[in-house]
């Protein structure tokens, strides 16, 4: 039952393909009539075959109807040898005297050739592919690259730096044993940690209340952020980054210079106060009269103070 269904399906597919090609000898015919015409020997079958052969082999004598209906076996064998039908039993295949399965296979192959020949726009692409294949064959060693059992996808300069050494079984076994021992150590550490630290069980009610509280807090925070963004855009943004800095009048540079000089004078006065404190400390030392160098330092320091005071008074 399955074989008959498959054969019926192939027959219907063959008929639909013939009708799609637009064979002029099968127009306005029912499917049952087309099956009888194509799969039964006779002049109608010979005309259909001649039309199919003429679609992809225009330079052969097969496009003459008298060739397909000829009774001379030698003529048929000579003509059909040009398309690969070289055996004597192939004449019976052309005439339609073979089994139904052989007829279906022959006609399906013939239709494949006709459909392939009808796509003439792919000829430039085919020629380009052939030229590319010729270039590859001329530039590469076919015995070492094309027909090699192992394929190297990387260039030679990159593959040279990669470690392509095949690892032995003993090395794999030792590596696996090392990994197993490390895994056992980690499992023992995990077990000891679980024994030392007791984690409380999850309380669903507490977790639910925490989630609700967090949800409310996040909602409040989102509302506060929204209010701040609105207040910033309405009240603060016009005053930030868009206003020109104020221009100072003639009194501004004078005040700025006065403040700068006052800072310098304050620093100098603080330094003089420190010098005076140091000088008083030196004068109060009991060993002042014993070392002449101290008198010299005191005189030098007093001279520096006398020179600085007039300068400050001029400022």
pLDDT at 198: 73
Q: Tell me the per-residue pLDDT of 192-229, one tens digit each, with 9 for 90 and over.
A: 888 887 777 777 888 888 888 888 998 899 999 998 88
Q: What would the 3-class secondary structure string for the chain be?
A: CHHHHHHHHHHHHHHHHHHHHCCHHHCCCCHHHHHHHHCCCCHHHHHHHHHHHHHHCCCCHHHCHHHHCCCCHHHHHHHHHHHCCCCCHHHHHHHCCCCHHHHHHHHHHHHHHHHHHHCHHHHHHHHHHHHHHHHHHHHCCHHHHHCCCCCCCCCHHHHCCCCCCCCCHHHHHHHHHHHHHHHHHHHHHHHHHHHHCCCCCCCHHHHHHHHHHHHHHHHHHHHHHHHHHHHHHHHHHHHCCCCCCCCCCCHHHHHHHHHHHHHHHHHHHHHHHHHHHHHHHHHCCCCCCCCHHHHHHHHHHHHHHHHHHHHHHHC
Interacting residues of 18 by C-beta distance below 8 A, sequence separation 6+:
26, 34, 38, 48, 111
Residues 6+ apart with CB under 8 A from 137: 146
Q: How far apart are CA 130 and CA 108, in angstroms?
A: 27
d(CA 129, CA 135): 10
Check residue 183 and give its pLDDT.
94
Cα–Cα distance for residue pair 264/258, rounded to 1 Å: 10
pLDDT tens, N- to C-terminus, the chain (315 residues): 456 677 777 888 888 887 787 777 777 777 777 777 777 777 778 788 778 777 766 555 544 444 454 555 565 566 666 666 666 677 777 777 788 888 888 888 888 877 776 665 556 666 777 787 777 777 666 666 666 666 666 666 777 666 556 677 888 889 999 999 999 999 999 888 888 877 777 778 888 888 888 889 988 999 999 988 888 888 877 777 666 666 767 777 788 888 888 888 888 888 877 877 777 776 666 655 555 555 666 666 666 666 666 655 555
Which is nearest to 107 in space by CA: 26, 48, 33? 48
Asked if residues 50 and 64 have their Cβ atoms less than 8 Å apart, the reply is yes
Any idea which residue has 């003089």 for tokens? 272
Instruction: Provide the pLDDT for residue 176.
Output: 92
**How high is the pLDDT of residue 185?**
92
pLDDT at 60: 55
141-188 pLDDT, tens digit each: 666 666 666 666 666 677 766 655 667 788 888 999 999 999 999 999
Question: Which of 92, 16, 14, 80 is CA-nearest to residue 53?
Answer: 80
């Amino acid at each position: 039952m399955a074989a008959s269904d498959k054969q019926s399906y192939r027959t219907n597919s063959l008929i639909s393909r013939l009708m799609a090609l637009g064979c002029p000898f099968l127009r306005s015919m029912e499917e049952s009539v087309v099956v009888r015409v194509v799969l039964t020997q006779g002049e109608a079958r010979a005309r259909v075959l001649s039309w199919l052969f003429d679609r992809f082999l225009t330079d052969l004598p097969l496009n003459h109807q008298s060739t397909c209906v000829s009774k001379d076996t030698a003529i048929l064998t000579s003509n059909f040898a040009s398309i690969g039908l070289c055996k004597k039993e192939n004449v019976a295949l052309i005439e339609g005297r073979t089994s139904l399965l052989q007829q279906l296979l022959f006609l399906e192959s013939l239709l494949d050739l006709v459909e392939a020949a009808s796509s003439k726009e792919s000829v430039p692409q085919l020629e380009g592919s052939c030229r590319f294949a010729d270039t590859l064959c001329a530039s590469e060693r076919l015995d070492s690259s094309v027909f090699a059992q192992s394929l190297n996808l990387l260039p030679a300069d990159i593959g040279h730096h990669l470690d392509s050494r095949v690892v032995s079984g003993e090395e794999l076994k030792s590596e696996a044993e090392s990994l197993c021992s490390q895994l056992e150590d980690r499992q023992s550490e995990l077990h000891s940690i679980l024994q030392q630290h007791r984690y409380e069980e999850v309380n669903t009610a507490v977790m639910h209340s925490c989630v609700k509280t967090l949800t409310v807090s996040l909602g409040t925070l989102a509302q506060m952020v929204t209010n701040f963004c609105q207040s910033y855009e309405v009240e603060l943004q016009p005053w930030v980054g868009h206003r020109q800095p104020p221009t100072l009048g003639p009194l501004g540079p004078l005040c700025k210079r006065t403040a700068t000089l006052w800072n310098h004078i304050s620093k100098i006065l603080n330094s003089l106060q420190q010098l005076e404190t140091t000088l008083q400390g030196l004068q109060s030392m009991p060993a002042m009269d014993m070392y002449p160098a101290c008198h010299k330092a005191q005189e030098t320091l007093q001279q520096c103070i006398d020179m600085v005071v007039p300068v400050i008074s001029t400022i």
